[in-house]
Amino acid sequence: MPEWISFARAVEDFNYVVTSVQSLPREFRTARPYIGVVNFPFEEDSRGRPSASELDRICALEDRLVKAIGGDECRLGHVIGIRRIQTAVASTKPEPVEVRLKSGLFKSTAFAIDWRNDGWAWYDRNLAATKLEMAHACYRELHATLQKQGDVATVSRPVDFAFYSPSAESRAQLLELLALKGFRVTEIRDPEQPGGDYFVELVFETTLVQSEMDALCAWLLDVCESTGVTFDGWATPICRPPATG
């Protein structure tokens, strides 16, 4: 899965847009226990979103913020909300409480940093993607490409799913769970070198209706998390409508 993803999250009839880093290791959280949040106001366009130029302006402010706090490794992401973007950073200490950032040719602006009492719980509520959000974000471009190629998503067809496992045991656990749902093994490979990955590809009959595929991939991510296996994505033949004439 990619390190950074963007996804929409609907809350009370408003679609927030979240861009954030995912799958942060426990040691990263332990080393940086303090989460600071900065509110960057923006002028909204007709959609209630920042224009491209406004987004560029705030991204430049974010770059200056993370440089002031401790570099790119402290950057966690942001939430585009109603007339403001909330940007989060992680730090080894809850300071400074305010940062002055260059905001124009001869201008700088002071921004307060809210060092959250709830720390990483704030990140988990606001920036961490659910498995369903992650699945949708990771494969929406593939769905869009298939649609452009004329694929009929409602047609059921065999879809290949690939996985990498650190051990034969974890791969066996994965296969046992997937077999219960009807997945069939089509290819299996052991590592050629010590320390390599154990590969497996399975096929499953399904449509490509995006909501259904998102739910299936979210379930696969849960299974992979429980077994310690990496889900490497899916591939499918294009199913076009029959020719007429």
Classify residue 183 by burial, with Cβ atoms within 10 Å: 0-12, 13-18, 19+.
buried
Which domain, by its residues, includes 11? 4-126
**Domain-embedded: residue 56:** yes
The 10s digit of each residue's pLDDT in 5-46 is: 999 998 766 778 999 998 788 899 999 999 999 999 999 888
Tell me the C-alpha distance between 22 and 131, whole Å: 11
In a domain, 156, yes or no: yes
Asked if 9 and 122 sit in the same domain, the reply is: yes
Asked which of 126, 146, 176 is the last residue of a domain, the reply is 126
- Predicted local confidence at residue 11, as pLDDT: 79
Q: Which residues contact 85 (CB under 8 A, 6 or more apart)?
A: 39, 40, 42, 50, 58, 78, 79
137 and 210 together in one domain = yes
Give which of 160, 138, 153 is closest to 209, Cα–Cα. Answer: 153
Which element (helix H / strand E) includes 108?
strand 107-112
**Contact between residue 52 and residue 31 where contact means Cβ atoms under 8 Å apart:** no
Q: pLDDT digit string (tens) for 89-105?
A: 999 999 999 999 998 88
CATH number at residue 147: 3.30.70.970
Residues 49 and 30 in one domain: yes
Answer with the one of 107, 126, 145 that is the final residue of a domain: 126
| H-state helical runs in the chain | 26-31, 52-69, 120-126, 131-148, 168-179, 210-227
Do 164 and 111 sit in the same domain of this protein? Answer: no
In angstroms, the CA 131 to CA 163 distance is: 17
Q: Are 183 and 161 in contact (CB under 8 A)?
A: yes
Give the C-alpha distances (Å, rounded to integers) separating 25 from 82, 185, 230. 31, 31, 15
User: In this structure, how many other beta carbons lie within 10 angstroms of the beta carbon of residue 27?
Assistant: 8
What lies within 8 Å, CB to CB, of 222 at 6+ separation is 131
CA-CA distance, 8 to 28, in Å (whole number)? 25
Tokens of 3: 């390190």
Q: Residue 200 falls within a domain, yes or no?
A: yes
Query: pLDDT tens digits, the chain, 245 residues: what are they?
Result: 447 899 999 876 677 899 999 878 889 999 999 999 999 999 988 888 899 999 999 999 999 999 988 877 789 999 999 999 999 999 999 999 999 999 888 899 999 999 999 999 999 999 999 999 999 999 999 999 999 999 999 999 999 999 999 999 999 999 999 999 999 999 999 998 888 999 999 999 999 999 999 999 999 999 999 999 999 999 999 999 887 65
* Residue 244 is assigned to a structural domain of this protein: no
Instruction: Identify whether residues 141 and 203 lie together within a single domain.
Output: yes
Q: What φ, ψ does residue 202 adopt, rounded to 5°?
A: -130, 155
> Is 240 part of any domain?
no
Looking at the 3D structure of the chain, how many domains does it have? 2
Q: Scanning the structure block, which residue is given the tokens 């560029």? A: 56
Residues facing residue 83 across a β-bridge: none
Query: What is the maximal distance between C-alpha atoms in the chain?
Result: 71
Q: Are residues 142 and 95 in the same domain?
A: no
- Calpha distance 9→211 (Å, rounded): 15
